Amino acid sequence: MSQEPYVRTEMLEEQPAPLGQTGISKWMRENLFSSVSNSIISGLAILVVVFMLYEFLPWMLQPSWGAENLRQCYDDPNINGACWGIIRDRFNQLMFGFYPHAEQWRPLLAFALMLVAIAPVLFDKLPRKMMWFSAVYPFLGVWLLWGGSIWGPLMVLAGFVIGYVVNKVLANVAGNLIALIVAVLATLLWWLYGVGYVSEMLTGAMPVGIAEVDSDNFGGLMLSITIGVSGIALSLPLGIILALGRQSDMFIIKVLSVGFIEFIRGVPLITLLFVASVLLGFFLPPDVTFDLILRVIIMVTIFASAYMAEVIRGGLAALPTGQYEAADALGLDYWQSMRLIIMPQALKISIPGIVGTFIGLFKDTTLVSIIGLLDPVGLIVSIQGTADWNGVVWELFTFIALMFWVFTFSMSRYSMYLENKLKTTH
């Protein structure tokens, strides 16, 4: 008979951790009061936060939502701080500027569709087919915002099809380079001379479209987002091209890129905006109306792309030479090696810088108030110009700061998510 050794047949019940090792007290001990100096800093920080809330909250929490004008807030004995009636009264204007009420679903839809369009770019788990929508979105978005006949954007889009077809057909006959050059020329010619004529003809034959909204009606947060998103979307590819150009061995391309980057970086954004608003008017022929918002978008884009180029160049420079050599050794040509090996790594390194530039660009859009565009900050002056709200300041700035914070904070959270996801080191 073998003797059975003592074997425990059931597990001991799990005990709760000792009180000092769980919950808030443990977290606080580890994070806030782990050492004497840490405790002092934590204590001071908590004091500062409490003090600020003590000063700020009573000002913020006021029963002033219903006020019709500033005088009511002054006269009401219950209101001793912020006069939030201004936000209720002008919320629509702060969001959409002077965009017609009946059409305001359009910017909202454009914004929602923008989220859909950038989703496949931001999250790689989504089906790649959604990229087609992202490619079409710029035209859709412009059409939704400015309105007018559908044929204009469609015909501009058709330019790409024309270029593609010309390239395909000619590539078999005349070789790649000539096909590319002819395709680009054909597309440009179509855009310059064909689009206006054909789209007007089509509009005449089959008027499909939505009410046109003039750029003058753009304002508020919608204007900031329009300028910011266009600038962001356009400056990244432009920045990549400039960064590659700066690293290029081809002399002319290198000199042009360096010249562009250094010139644009050497000029303050506000100068470029003044050029857009004031100087271009002198250069253009008198009868050409060249949309102010479009001019601003172009200026903001070239400004941001110069910074973007330097951020990406930093990423390129951080890559070990071995990566370039390995790409060459594999027999990849320049574009293949950039697309498959260099850029994915360089861009990953540059993410914090890129997002930083994006956030900066988005906030810089408020500078347009100086050239008379009524973005949220510009609207402050307009709102103060009315008899009802003359004298309101902090309520508006608080609200606008909050709106901007929501956007910039989401951008920075996304960048953190992306960095974590792409982290390959251990």
**Interface contacts to other proteins, rule CB under 8 A:** 70-71, 74, 89-90, 92-93, 97-98, 142, 146, 148-149, 152-153, 156, 159, 188, 191-192, 195-196, 199-200, 212, 214, 216-217, 274, 277-279, 281-282, 284-291, 294, 298, 369-374, 378, 380-387, 390-391, 393
Considering beta carbons, is residue 286 or 322 the nearer one to other proteins? 286
**In the structure encoding, which two tokens stand for residue 220, read together?**
């508020």
Considering beta carbons, is residue 138 or 239 the nearer one to other proteins? 138
Considering beta carbons, is residue 253 or 298 the nearer one to other proteins? 298
- Among 263, 234, 246, residue whose Cα is nearest residue 317: 246
Q: How far is the CB of 35 from other proteins (least distance, A)?
A: 41
Q: How far is the CB of 102 from other proteins (least distance, A)?
A: 12
- Among 304, 314, 302, 315, residue whose Cα is nearest residue 276: 302
C-alpha 196/C-alpha 359 separation (Å) is: 36
C-alpha 260/C-alpha 254 separation (Å) is: 10
Considering beta carbons, is residue 104 or 408 the nearer one to other proteins? 104
Q: How far is the CB of 122 from other proteins (least distance, A)?
A: 24
**Chain centroid offset of residue 136 CA:** 18
Q: How far is the CB of 270 from other proteins (least distance, A)?
A: 10
Considering beta carbons, is residue 224 or 369 the nearer one to other proteins? 369
Distance separating the N- and C-terminal Cα atoms of the chain? 55
Kind and range of the H or E element at 210? strand 209-210
**Structural contact between residues 23 and 43, judged by C-beta atoms closer than 8 angstroms:** no
Q: Phi/psi at 148 (nearest 5 deg)?
A: 95, -165
User: What angle do the packed helices 376-384 and 85-96 form, to 10 degrees?
Assistant: 130
C-alpha 271/C-alpha 310 separation (Å) is: 20
Q: How far is the CB of 169 from other proteins (least distance, A)?
A: 22
C-alpha 3/C-alpha 257 separation (Å) is: 86
Considering beta carbons, is residue 150 or 304 the nearer one to other proteins? 150
Considering beta carbons, is residue 369 or 415 the nearer one to other proteins? 369
Considering beta carbons, is residue 91 or 417 the nearer one to other proteins? 91
Q: How far is the CB of 203 from other proteins (least distance, A)?
A: 10
Per DSSP, 209 falls in state E
Q: How far is the CB of 176 from other proteins (least distance, A)?
A: 23
Sign of CA pseudo-dihedral 27, 29, 30, 31: positive
Q: How far is the CB of 274 from other proteins (least distance, A)?
A: 7
Residues 6 or more apart from 295 whose CB is under 8 A from it? 276, 277, 280
C-alpha 100/C-alpha 91 separation (Å) is: 14
**Structural contact between residues 377 and 366, judged by C-beta atoms closer than 8 angstroms:** yes
**Chain centroid offset of residue 334 CA:** 30
Considering beta carbons, is residue 147 or 356 the nearer one to other proteins? 147
**Chain centroid offset of residue 248 CA:** 28
Coil, helix or strand at residue 149: strand
Q: How far is the CB of 72 from other proteins (least distance, A)?
A: 12
Q: How far is the CB of 252 from other proteins (least distance, A)?
A: 21
Considering beta carbons, is residue 214 or 328 the nearer one to other proteins? 214
